[in-house]
Structure 1
Amino acid sequence: MTAVGNEQTSYLSDRQCFAILDRASEDLQKGLALQAFLASIALAALRPEEARVLRVRDVELVDDGTGWLMVHPQAQERGEKDSDRAGTVRRVPVCRELAAILQEETTRRDLRPDDAIFVLDNGRPLTAQVYRKTWQQARVAALQAHELNSPLGRHVSALRDARIAAWLKNGDQTAGHILAVAECAGMSAPRLAERFANCLRKPTRDEIPWARLEAALALPEPTQPTSTARRP
């Protein structure tokens, strides 16, 4: 069972994410578009505002069924301000599952390159008010009583947090890995490490390369002054 804490240290499990997504798709009036929208947050760790403005031209699919998203900066969710990444367009990898969802939605509605991907079937935009209301209803239907009384999954951005946490936990957690996750999430590495500190494996005392650290921090040996012969 997922440990319930505060929003900074507790994340939705895969079971909980899929349960909420399934419930959200039951809304017949906005189910397909909303399900695709939420999937883009859950599988690519997008901010809701970033996902909402995605256009067909922002999706690059390749022959093996994966692809990339060109994510443009938008107003960030609460608590995610990161001046180091402000104004940066980033490339986010697309897994096969998300690629299939995006392609199906594009084909279903016969979208053109400049069209927004996530628009309700009646032509109305997918506003924050719409997806937040559906999210809350799906959360109530999918989670257990003790989970509902906690901050777990209280906001749609919980899908993003769960994906970032999974990226961090399912890797070697080297500096390169953490930097790659930070880049995909649109955050600086220090901000990522601060917010998802509980997802980072803490090395044991024996794993810390003390000798190399001491060597790196050691002061250079003093050099002897070179004597110069005086002229007579």
Structure 2
Amino acid sequence: MAAVVNEGTVYLSNRQCFAILDWAGEQPQSGLVLRAFLASITLAALRPEEALAMRVREVELAEDGIGWLLVHSQAQERREKDSDHAGVVRRVPVCRELAVILKEEAIRRGLGPEDAIFVLDDGRPLTAEVYRKVWRQARAAVLQAHELDSSLGRHASALRDARIAAWLKDGDQTAGHILAVAECAGMSAPRLAVRFANCLRKPTRDEIPWDRLEAALALPDLPSQPTPTARRP
């Protein structure tokens, strides 16, 4: 079942996300690279444009099988009207599953540090036109008829949205956790909270620390009588 995140919006379920990855991997032409590309969006919540720009040297993998992606956020942030992090490089954690996929892709293609990770089998770069066509085909193959008529998974970025929603819903939702998710996603915390509001657990009235809030917002005690000002000689 897809998880409802915002009113009028549904996100792909884990089952649907991985079914799309499996479908892409089974394609006779460039199936493995397409699967790796979609996996980077699914597991690291990259924007499709960010994944296309990734180079081998921007993948830092440790011996224990985990690591980081160095992601450059520029034009994507401006398009989303959230330019707080525009022009900076953010570090996104790589889970073991994605680490294995990326490592295998680099070895399979004999890629060097400066090479783009996602290149088609015929040597052409993977482009937005190519992956969008594949996405439409994968969506039609995986989703049910009534889901195809909805907005569910209309674009490949739905994989990213599903991962961000899962990060929020599966965590403790403390301020530190929300800030960490926002940083990994390349968004400001206020924008994240607005866009994924229904993923955040709302505290009950009894859980709100009213006494501390009142103390924090209280004005300092004022003297009962005005303090006389000194007269000028």
Secondary structure in 2 aligned to 1:60? Answer: strand
- Tell me the amino acid that sits aligned with residue 146 of structure 2: H
Secondary structure in 1 aligned to 2:75? Answer: coil
Secondary structure in 2 aligned to 1:92? Answer: strand
In the TM superposition, residue 81 of structure 1 has moved relative to its aligned partner by 3.3
Aligned to 2:111: 111
Closer/same/farther in 2, CA of residues 74 and 218 from structure 1, 3 Å limit: closer
Closer/same/farther in 2, CA of residues 128 and 190 from structure 1, 3 Å limit: same
In the TM superposition, residue 42 of structure 1 has moved relative to its aligned partner by 0.2
Aligned to 1:190: 190
In the TM superposition, residue 80 of structure 1 has moved relative to its aligned partner by 2.8
In the TM superposition, residue 25 of structure 1 has moved relative to its aligned partner by 1.8
Aligned 8 A contact 2:6 2:195 in 1: no
In the TM superposition, residue 20 of structure 1 has moved relative to its aligned partner by 1.2
Aligned 8 A contact 2:24 2:35 in 1: yes
Alignment partner of 1:22 is 2:15: no
In the TM superposition, residue 53 of structure 1 has moved relative to its aligned partner by 1.0
For residues 14 and 152 of structure 1, the distance between their equivalents in structure 2, rounded to whole angstroms, comes to 13
In the TM superposition, residue 63 of structure 1 has moved relative to its aligned partner by 1.7
In the TM superposition, residue 127 of structure 1 has moved relative to its aligned partner by 0.5
In the TM superposition, residue 26 of structure 1 has moved relative to its aligned partner by 2.2
Gaps of 5+ in 1: none
- Tell me the amino acid that sits aligned with residue 84 of structure 1: D
Gaps of 5+ in 2: none
Question: With structure 1 as the length reference, what TM-score do the two structures score?
Answer: 0.92
Aligned to 1:136: 136
> Percent identity of the aligned residues?
79
Aligned 8 A contact 1:44 1:94 in 2: yes
Aligned 8 A contact 1:85 1:186 in 2: yes
Moved more, 19-28 or 181-190: 19-28
For residues 130 and 7 of structure 2, the distance between their equivalents in structure 1, rounded to whole angstroms, comes to 23
Q: In proportion to residue count, which structure has more strand?
A: 2
Alignment partner of 1:73 is 2:73: yes
- Tell me the amino acid that sits aligned with residue 93 of structure 2: P
In the TM superposition, residue 79 of structure 1 has moved relative to its aligned partner by 6.5
Aligned to 1:159: 159
Aligned 8 A contact 2:3 2:10 in 1: yes
